[in-house]
Amino acid sequence: MTIIEQLIAGGPVVTDGAWGTQLYARGLDPGDVPDSWNLSHPDRVEEVGRAYVEAGSQVILTNTLRANRVTLAAYGLAEKTVEINRAGAAISRRAAEGRARVFASIGPSGRLLVMGEVTEDELFEAFREQAEALAEGGADALLIETMTDLTEASIAIRAAEETDLPVAASMVFDSGKEKDRTMMGTTPERAAAALESAGADVVGANCGVGIAGYVGVCRRMHAATSLPIWIKANAGLPEFVDGRTTYRMTAAEFASYVPALLEAGASFIGGCCGTGPEFVRAIAQALDGRRTP
Amino acid sequence: MSDLSKLYDAILNGETKNAIALTREALEGGADPLDLVTRYMAPAMDEAGKRFECEEYFVPELMRAAQAMKGALELIRPLLVASGAEPAGRVVIGTVRGDRHDIGKNLVSSMLEGGGFEVHDLGIDVSPEKFVLAVRERSPDLVCLSTLLTVTMRSVPITIQALKDAGLRERVRVLVGGAPVTEEWALKVGADGYGANAAAAVPLARRMLARQ
């Protein structure tokens, strides 16, 4: 049995919440790339992973969303690419202590193929390098996430597959009138089919404009593929209250969507921007009784 | 003279090579450069923007149209400058301090350029001081601020305050865009306008200039 099969054999799987917002709360400077903390503040990064495992996460990610060479170059950190990724995987592995699986995060390059800002070969090489370093650091699986461009996501899947680890792939649906398209106009059906044919073992949606809309996205992806579905939504959009930017959705409100997500076919459920350990705890509670130990 | 509706189609369909060839042909045939822009090219970009709003077009189609427009404009702009024609407006644009995301900012730049604006792009992680300097040196009509991260949103009011402190705020209109930004927030922090997406940027910029 693969790791994916083992995980879902027991029922729906609780993943984790956001890392970025948790690191900012621990003192990360908004001007710094969160991934750099894998080298400078590994203890605080580990704390985030540990908090999720304690809250009930069966899968935790890594603090490596932006740690591909193309993105790190914008921060003058290209030469640290391998080191940041190896450290990121190792930190999450320590935080998991064998109680959770580590799905290592690979995010978009921040460059648009359609604008000619980067080539397909450059992307493949950047993702291959990151995937390899994450595998060396001890990741159990790789997660291609927060993707807006199907072509870039497919390149990342192919690059990740070179490690022989299972690969999950997740896109952002936040565009169009119904907020059910990617920035590039891709529908959930088309994304599910294309990610599957690129070789993903799990497909899904993350980030976006809130969990309510992801119920429909989940249902449509589930109808278009036989692969397990991964959903990790935002706690809505941030609002400006008393001079501060905050997310208003509570953990209980967020978790109230869990039954609908299960009914829509979700196998992996977690949170994205604005969610923390209390959200994971609420999701785990909502899944109570649906999992066999 | 060739059928100029083909130029309109080439831009709308994002055929850059075709758009450039048709523009060159038209100019060689004696077409008036300003006429080409106002009757065929700009309407094609307006239609692309409308299709984006109606979800017939998404970012790739919109960007291909903007690139075709840009290619054709490169032939025409020197002629317009020589004839003393002014751009639709002058824009200074950048991603605010602390934020190094540039996709949204680049999309807005391309659309504004396609809309006939002269765009000076300051890049990413732009300090308030750099915005102030650029406004002082270039006297733009519009300053466009981009922010993707919720943690860097606060750089927007700081930049606006820096323009005030430098006595430059009244000389420009400040527009804000970015995924976590709403119109309510933008106006609350002292901006003049907010654009929900790249296609919205051009009509918004035009409205702002019409009000001046």
Say which CATH number the domain at B199 has.
3.40.50.280
What value does the mean pLDDT take over residues B129-153?
Answer: 94
Strands A59-60 and B90-95: unpaired
Residues of A in contact with B67 (CB under 8 A): 115
For residue B175, which phi and psi values (nearest 5 degrees)? -115, 145
Whether the predicted pLDDT of B125 surpasses 60: yes
Q: Which of A68, A111, A112 to mutate to test the interface with B (most CBs of B within 10 A)?
A: A112
Distances (CA, A) of A68 to A162, A233, B123: 16, 23, 20
Nearest Cβ partner for B125 among A31, A238, A240: A31
The domain ranges of chain A are: 3-286
Other CB atoms within 10 A of residue B55 CB: 13
Please report the pLDDT score of residue A243 as a whole number. 66
Architecture of domain A3-286: Alpha-Beta Barrel (3.20)
**B110, closest residue in chain A (CA to CA):** A115
Angle separating helix axes B155-165 and B128-138, nearest 10 degrees:
50
B35 and B78: one domain? Answer: yes
B71 and B117: one domain? Answer: no
B10 and B114: one domain? Answer: no
- Å between A23 CA and nearest CA of chain B: 11
B189 and B121: one domain? Answer: yes
B152 — pLDDT class (breaks 50, 70, 90): confident
- Å between B24 CA and nearest CA of chain A: 23
Whether the predicted pLDDT of B1 surpasses 70: no
B198 — pLDDT class (breaks 50, 70, 90): confident
Count contacts between A and B (CB, < 8 Å): 69
B66 and B147: one domain? Answer: no
User: Please, which residues bridge with residue B94 across strands?
Assistant: B145
Whether the predicted pLDDT of B2 surpasses 70: no
Provide, rounded to the nearest whole percent, the portion of chain A with pLDDT above 70: 98
Please report the pLDDT score of residue B212 as a whole number. 61
- Å between A130 CA and nearest CA of chain B: 20
Is B195 in contact with B143 (CB distance < 8 Å)?
no
Give me the number of domains chain B comprises: 2
Residues 246-275 of A with CB under 8 A from B: 273
**CB contact (8 A) between residue A115 and residue B101:** no
Q: Which two tokens stand for residue A169?
A: 């792939």
Is B145 in contact with B159 (CB distance < 8 Å)?
yes
Q: What is the dihedral of CA B163, B169, B171, B174, to 10 degrees?
A: 90
Please report the pLDDT score of residue B85 as a whole number. 84
B176 and B124: one domain? Answer: yes
B106 and B200: one domain? Answer: yes
Q: What angle do CA A90, A134, A65 make, to 5 degrees?
A: 95
B189 — pLDDT class (breaks 50, 70, 90): very high
Q: Domain span at residue B102? A: 90-211
B99 and B129: one domain? Answer: yes
Tell me the whole-structure pTM to 2 decimals: 0.90
B52 and B101: one domain? Answer: no
Residue A151 touches partner B, C-beta closer than 8 Å: no
**B123, closest residue in chain A (CA to CA):** A74
Whether the predicted pLDDT of B45 surpasses 90: yes
- Å between A150 CA and nearest CA of chain B: 12
Nearest Cβ partner for B97 among A24, A31, A239: A31
Strands B118-121 and B90-95: parallel
B96 and B77: one domain? Answer: no
Q: Where are the beta strands (DSSP E) in A125-177?
A: 141-147, 167-171
**CB contact (8 A) between residue B63 and residue A112:** yes
- Å between B157 CA and nearest CA of chain A: 11
What value does the mean pLDDT take over residues B115-124?
Answer: 93
For residue A132, which phi and psi values (nearest 5 degrees)? -65, -45
B165 and B110: one domain? Answer: yes
Which residue, B82, B98, B125, sits at the end of a domain?
A: B82
Provide the CATH number for the domain around residue B51: 1.10.1240.10
What value does the mean pLDDT take over residues B177-203?
Answer: 90
For residue A230, which phi and psi values (nearest 5 degrees)? -110, 120
- C-alpha A256/C-alpha A253 separation (Å) is 5
**Per-residue burial over B87-121, b = 16 or more CB atoms within 10 Å of its CB, e = otherwise:** bbbbbbbbbbbbbbbbbbbbbbbbbbbbbbbbbeb
- C-alpha A156/C-alpha A143 separation (Å) is 10
Mean pLDDT of chain B: 92
pLDDT, one tens digit for every residue, chain A (293 residues): 899 999 999 999 999 999 988 999 999 988 889 999 999 999 999 999 999 999 999 999 999 999 999 999 989 999 999 999 999 999 999 999 999 999 999 999 999 998 889 999 999 999 999 999 999 999 999 999 999 999 999 999 999 999 999 999 999 999 888 899 999 999 999 999 999 999 999 999 999 888 999 999 999 999 999 999 999 999 877 776 776 667 889 999 999 999 999 999 999 999 998 899 999 999 999 998 887 76
**CB contact (8 A) between residue A31 and residue B184:** no
Is A159 in contact with A131 (CB distance < 8 Å)?
yes
Q: How far apart are the first and last CA of chain B?
A: 39
Please report the pLDDT score of residue A293 as a whole number. 63
B145 and B191: one domain? Answer: yes
Is A92 in contact with A61 (CB distance < 8 Å)?
yes
Whether the predicted pLDDT of B148 surpasses 80: yes
Q: Kindly report which listed range (A239-243, A257-261, B18-22, B189-193) carries the lowest average pLDDT score.
A: A239-243
Whether the predicted pLDDT of B175 surpasses 60: yes
Nearest Cβ partner for B149 among A30, A175, A239: A30
Q: Three-state SS for A243?
A: coil
